[in-house]
Amino acid sequence: MKGYKLLLKNPRVLYVKLGGSLITPKKEGAFEVRERIVREVADDLLRISRERSLFLAHGAGPFGHAPVKMYKLHEGFKPGRELGVSETSIRVMELSLRIASLMREEGLPVLPFHPRSTFRRIGGGTICDLSAVRAWMDLNLVPLTHGDLIYDDERGVSVLSADEIPIYLVPLGLEEAVFLADVPGVLNEDGEVISEITEANIPDLGRSAYDVTGAMRGKLEAAFQLARLGVKVRIAGFSERGDLIRVLKGESGTLVRV
Ligand SMILES: Nc1ncnc2c1ncn2[C@@H]1O[C@H](COP(=O)(O)OP(=O)(O)OP(=O)(O)O)[C@@H](O)[C@H]1O
Ligand SMILES: [Mg+2]
């Protein structure tokens, strides 16, 4: 298999997260997928994949947030919560399979994998072994993962957000991360997109009642951490084909800077 090594089109990796708020009716709490959006994002990704190496993820939306909240799994594991862990894992797998199938139908060679098999929290830190996933990328397969529950040796279980995942991809050569959501970027108090955000101009971010990973606040924490690691980060919306291409050109969304 030596001949298949270093097939990456570009050793620098672009991470794109399709937010749960974008791909599902998260605010209504419905276990549904916005198929048109997923197909049109996939179409943009297919074009981008001709020049750049991709690592994809999607948020869990109600598929993850609802059972986690119902069984209080964001507070950790307790005896009696086993079926909640099981239900959350199955729900996010169902969602992931739907997203993966739609993307494959659009011609994107996605390879779904589950964080709970790859990531663990040990002593408050996070460890992962992505060597197998990285090897698949040499065959031009596009990893697709998602927010998930992972094992935690102190709390039993812990939520791993797909906003946090790219932090662990820096050693793979992560160059840029784009978080797509149901808002066109980070909004100021007047509801306008802030084109560039630093820790000095963060707007008031109310903690959302329906989210267990901090909604925009949690996303920004991860985004600043990534920016500090030298990764270019954007938070943006997506309403139609071509929007992701425009985001990458810097024509829309919020650029997160340190
Ligand atoms: N200043 C702000 N600018 C933009 N969005 C904000 C702001 N303050 C709060 N929000 C909320 O943050 C939400 C986006 O975060 P949320 O976690 O719900 O989306 P997501 O990360 O795409 O979903 P998931 O966590 O399921 O992947 C927006 O829909 C909005 O309601
Ligand atoms: Mg979120």
pLDDT (tens place) for every residue of the chain, 258 residues total: 454 455 565 678 999 999 999 999 999 999 999 999 999 999 999 999 999 999 999 999 999 999 999 999 999 999 999 999 999 999 999 999 999 999 999 999 999 999 999 999 999 999 999 999 999 999 999 999 999 999 999 999 999 999 999 999 999 999 999 999 999 999 999 999 999 999 998 888 866 545 778 889 999 999 999 999 999 999 999 999 999 999 999 999 999 999
Q: Where does residue 217 fall: left (phi above 0), alpha (psi -120 to 50 degrees), or beta otherwise?
A: alpha
Phi then psi dihedrals of residue 161, to 5 deg: -85, 145
Would residue 123 be called left, alpha or beta, if left means φ above 0 and alpha means ψ between -120 and 50 degrees? left
Q: Spell out which residues line ligand 1, taking CB within 6 angstroms.
A: 19-22, 26, 59-61, 65, 147, 162, 181-183, 186-187, 203, 205-206, 208, 211, 213, 215-216, 219
- Reference 219, options 161, 146, 157; nearest CA is 161
pLDDT at 136: 94
pLDDT at site 9: 58
What's the confidence (pLDDT) of residue 210? 55
92 vs 112: CA distance, rounded Å = 12
> Which structure tokens are listed for 22?
């974008």
Mutate which of 146, 180, 208 for ligand 1? The one with the most ligand atoms within 8 Å of its CB, which is 208
Q: How far apart are CA 139 and CA 148, in angstroms?
A: 26
pLDDT score of 212: 79
For residue 205, give the ligand 1 atom closest to its CA.
Answer: 8
pLDDT value for 151: 98
State residue 182's pLDDT score.
97
**What amino acid is encoded at 122 in this protein?**
I
Determine the distance separating the centroid of ligand 1 and the alpha carbon of 181, expressed in angstroms.
7
Contacts of 49-53 with C-beta under 8 Å, sequence gap 24+, read 49/9, 49/108, 49/142, 50/9, 51/9, 51/10, 52/9, 52/10, 52/12, 52/13, 52/14, 53/8, 53/9, 53/10, 53/11, 53/12, 53/13, 53/14, 53/137, 53/173
Tokens of residue 92, six digits: 């996010």
Q: Reduce the secondary structure of 91-156 to three states and give it as a string.
A: HHHHHHHHHHHHHHHCCCCEEECCHHHCEEEECCEEEECCHHHHHHHCCCCEEEEECEEEEECCCE
Q: Tell how far the Cα of 50 is from the centroid of ligand 1, in angstroms.
A: 30
Ligand 1 atom, smallest distance to 62 CA: 26
Structural domains in the chain, sorted by start: 2-256 (3.40.1160.10)
Q: How far apart are CA 57 and CA 144, in angstroms?
A: 5
Separation of alpha carbons 111 and 4, rounded Å: 17
